[in-house]
Amino acid sequence: MSASFLNGLNLTSILPPNSQWIAPWVTQVLQSVEGELALGHSPYPAFEQTVLRIFYPSVAPGFRPMLWFLAGLFSLSIIIVLASLVLRLQQGRFWLFHRVDKTIAIPNISTIYGMCALAYASLAILSIVTAVGISKGESFPRYYLGLQAGWIAPLWVGFFCEAWATISAYIRKKGAFYRESRWKTLVALTLPFLLPVCAFFPVVIVMYIAAHSFNEGYRDTMSILAQLRVFDQSWTPAKGLDIGNLLTFFTLGEKFGAEMRDYSKYVRIGYLYIALTLLVTFAVYTTGASVEIRHLSATIKELRAQSKTPRLRPRSPLTFSRGTSSKSVQLPEAKTDRPPIDPLDNEFFAGVKRLWALLAWARNNRFYSACAIGLMLLVNAGIAFWLGVSPLSLMTNSAQLLVACWLNGILSTVVALLILFRSLDGSSPIVQRLRCYLPFLPFPPAISITDPSRAQLP
């Protein structure tokens, strides 16, 4: 095919009306096969490779090793979370929700967070394994798009349960549960389940439509590849580039183009909705975390003040002078130089200091967790917004997957370590030895707590 023939080819008249958007890509393809024709080679293998790159992009040599490294990072996160759950179960019975009354139901955020982190890391590993297989040319699984869009769902459940626990504690502190009513009971029973429905149901519907269009487009692409192989088998150098075959190729691509446009429209709507949901969750989560951290700081300040104020020993019973009435009581003279100290003061002060030390560590752990989790929400909201505003592209961008895996892998491992630190006993000899070698890590203080309510510590 000569250059003059290519320049004189009117793609606008050849392409169907619904596939005009593909004209620049077709021009690029025709230019790539022109060299093959000049060498006397069949142009259809070049067409086939171009069509394959629509769903199977060429990746850098380090793409797969990098993904396997990230899979190992998520596996480490799973091991850490499993260890924290085992330690948590050794400290008390397994429970997820505890209903205080008809209004308040408190979730066990430590256990639920651990389970959500396990599901999140497992989905990440499955997504990585699927991406590696696709990069090698394996078929797309039907659940691929749902896996990409639903990756953040387990962690969102963890965020929601933590906000739920914070709000429940706030309502309980204000005493609303003492004034029970049917209206409060109805709201308390439906609201915790209504919010996840509002967050997930629209996304599931939109992504289902997008996945249907994506899978249909993938099947049409496989049909195009089969037709190209048939053309290649019957090709001879004398035929050159058969325009009739090219028109057949465009006819097959017309349906594919329409399906890709539907896929692009719905998947962008879905990702923008996910980004909006994550931003709202970030606002609610940071508000609840800041309220809880301020409450812990106020409690710590109060306990520190108590530990520095000695208690006065109770005075001896009042003595009455002979011949006096109860209205004329003679009080014993108090010494102003040094007030007597109760023998139990040392034990009291030590207990108060242990308590505020534990609360100070819990506040710091809660702050670190809030920072990491807030970053995860912002990162995933940014990635979802990136996918939502990206224009329709025939070449899949593997950079989005790498960015998501790297950022989520690092942050999820940090969160898993903080969850593990919550489950450790600071008085354990192993923890004390680790504290000597790793003093920069936020290990819990050396305080023995056997109360199962420790599961509710932030």
Select from 310, 395, 387, 376 the least CA-distant residue to 117: 376
| Alpha helix (H) residue ranges in 424-440 | 429-437
Total number of domains in the chain: 1
Highest mean pLDDT: which of 150-154, 350-354, 430-434?
150-154
- With residues binned 3-state (H G I as helix, E B as strand, rest as coil), the percentages for the chain, rounded to 5, are 70, 0, 25
242: in domain: yes
Domain that holds residue 192: 63-310+341-456
Average pLDDT over residues 6-23: 61
67: in domain: yes
159: in domain: yes
State the maximum Cα–Cα separation within the chain, in Å, rounded to a whole number: 138
Is 452 a residue whose pLDDT tops 50? no
Hey, which bits of 41-197 come out as E strands? 97-99, 105-107
Residues 179-221 pLDDT 10s = 667 777 777 778 778 888 888 899 999 999 998 888 888 888 8
CB 286 within 8 A of CB 402: no
Q: What percent of the chain has pLDDT over 70?
A: 73
257: in domain: yes
Q: Which of 73-87, 116-130, 176-190, 304-318 has the lowest mean pLDDT?
A: 304-318
Average pLDDT over residues 98-119: 81
Q: What is the three-class DSSP state of 319? A: strand
More confident residue, 313 or 153: 153
Q: What residues form DSSP beta bridges with 97?
A: 107
22: in domain: no
Highest mean pLDDT: which of 113-127, 285-299, 326-340?
113-127
Instruction: Specify burial of residue 433 (Cβ count, 10 A radius: 0-12, 13-18, 19+).
Output: exposed
Dihedral sign for Cα atoms in the order 47, 50, 51, 56: positive
What is the reported pLDDT for 125? 92
Would you state the torsion angle of the CA atoms of residues 192, 197, 200, 201, taken in this order, to the nearest 10 degrees? Answer: 180
Highest mean pLDDT: which of 43-47, 298-302, 406-410?
406-410
Is 337 a residue whose pLDDT tops 70? no
More confident residue, 344 or 133: 133
What is the reported pLDDT for 269? 93
What is the reported pLDDT for 318? 45
d(CA 318, CA 326) in angstroms, rounded, equals 10
Band (pLDDT 50/70/90 cuts) for residue 146 is confident
1: in domain: no
Is 25 a residue whose pLDDT tops 70? no
11: in domain: no
128: in domain: yes
